[in-house]
Amino acid sequence: MPERLVVVTALGVEARAVRRGLGDATLRVCGMGPRRATHFGRGLRTEAAIAVVGFAGSLTSTLRPGQVVVATRVINGDTTVELPSASLVAAHLRQLGIDVVTGSIVSTPSIVRGSARGELHETTGAIAVDNESAFLLAEWRDVDRRRLAVVRVISDSPDHELFSPGTIARGVRGARVLRRIGPALTAWAGALGPRRVVLAGPRSFCAGVERAIDIVRRAIDRFGAPVYVRRQIVHNSHVVHDLETAGAVFVQELDEVPEGATVVLAAHGVAPEVRRDAESRNLRVVDATCPLVAKVHTEARRYARDGFSIVLVGHVDHEEVIGTLGEAPDRIVVVEGADDVDALQLPDATPVAFLTQTTLALDDTASVVGALKARFPDAVGPRGDDICYASQNRQQAVRAIAEECDVVLVLGSANSSNSKRLVEVARRAGCDAHLIENDTEIDLRWFDGARTIGVSAGASAPEFLVTGVVDALARLGPVEVTEHTVVVENVRFNLPAEVR
């Protein structure tokens, strides 16, 4: 197997500490200072990834001994070398529970102490200093920058000078940190390389999510901040954060909303008692329930009025299901899987109807509906199910790309039902798949040997998150991006009168 990773340290003590977790990586000691670093760098010829690792001094009081700095750039005089992989290495170290920051490291010919630290920070913007990194990198000008990393553990700082009391204890603590970084370097080296990225189309926002976000923004414009929103407007933390910045205040229940204030009801829909509660509290209500969820509520009311027992297929703790259930709690029973259908106990002699949550997986739902029809042949319901166009299209697109991908990444929050279903669909198609909130949750080990990466996003996840992941992949090697579109969407929903 060709060499994958070379780790270079200045000191033997650093090499011994970092050895753990490096697997079959090559460990080399270059010696201290610019002259030895230059000599070593000139002699090193490898196609592998190269990580320069060891101790460094902090240039600011905000960095403490024991913290790790992953260099985004390395500076020496007028020369700056950018290191594109830095944020990915740092993210992986964070996943290992290591206290890490990213920033510039400056290399100097001699040890920097006292007031010179602050001056160097002021003139270069660097947060840490060493005596080798820039001199090594200067000898590797022809190496693809994505194959280079500089990872340093802070050993001394303005408040903890070298050779002051505690130096040995700080050194021991720093060595312990160095011992833990090997797995991240190994994962990074394994993840490097050229790739194809296949974007699933459609992906990201659906018409219901766009409408809900638009409603909150317009409500803030029209009625002024704060506008209260009951529960997450859509299940995505980035969207919620953006709207909070714009003036929205998210609450769990209406008793947290001051009397007479404006409240937006989230896209997943609510039970009728929530509307009654809002009315009794004299709140101005703007309803962002997706029209496709509202349609299921209407069906539930109609079936209940006509005397049906209603089987609702969905996840019992999901807000959409809780809302629909509230339309007729005495008549609706929730089932999650085909197995639940056998255990159903419905009153004799009442007709049976079924409804489904809008964001379920098509395959799972088909099997539950099949079990329902087998047990209750006269059961009535939607022609197939109530799964919305957006969930169907995104699942179809992920299934299509999974066939040609080694790994599929789905952008979405952990509480997003439709995003989780996309991961299941990809896995069912035989592909490794992961749900991530954003690119910082990438686990570099997923990409070892993976040459084609699929990317999708749940209906509540903004497109900029997809761009972030593609950018991250491009920091590991050249990427060729293609899009596999299974259908073009042009659905739009009208806004409620209050904000039109």
Quick one: 281 or 295, whose CB is closer to ligand SF4?
295
Regarding 103 and contact with ligand SF4 (CB under 6 A), the answer is no
Nearest approach, Cβ of 290 to ligand SF4 (angstroms)? 3
Is 498 a known active-site residue?
Answer: no
Q: Which of residues 453-472 bind ligand SF4 (CB under 6 A)?
A: 459
14, 299, 320, 327: the catalytic one is: 320
Quick one: 51 or 410, whose CB is closer to ligand SF4?
410
Question: Contact with ligand SF4 (CB under 6 A): which of 131, 416, 418, 456?
Answer: 418
Question: Contact with ligand SF4 (CB under 6 A): which of 85, 155, 236, 391?
Answer: 391
Regarding 206 and contact with ligand SF4 (CB under 6 A), the answer is yes
Question: Which range touches ligand SF4 (CB under 6 A), out of 8-16, 200-208, 240-248, 471-479?
Answer: 200-208
Nearest approach, Cβ of 48 to ligand SF4 (angstroms)? 45
Per-residue contact string for residues 271-310; x = within reach of ligand SF4 by CB under 6 A: -------------------x-xx-----------------
CA quadruple 71, 73, 74, 77: dihedral sign: negative
Question: Contact with ligand SF4 (CB under 6 A): which of 267, 288, 408, 499?
Answer: 267
Nearest approach, Cβ of 80 to ligand SF4 (angstroms)? 46
Residue 291 neighbours by CB under 8 Å, 6+ apart = 208, 493
Regarding 124 and contact with ligand SF4 (CB under 6 A), the answer is no
Quick one: 104 or 418, whose CB is closer to ligand SF4?
418
Question: Contact with ligand SF4 (CB under 6 A): which of 58, 358, 393, 438?
Answer: 358
In the complex, the residues that contact ligand SF4 under the rule CB under 6 A are: 206-209, 267, 290, 292-293, 358-359, 388, 390-391, 418, 459
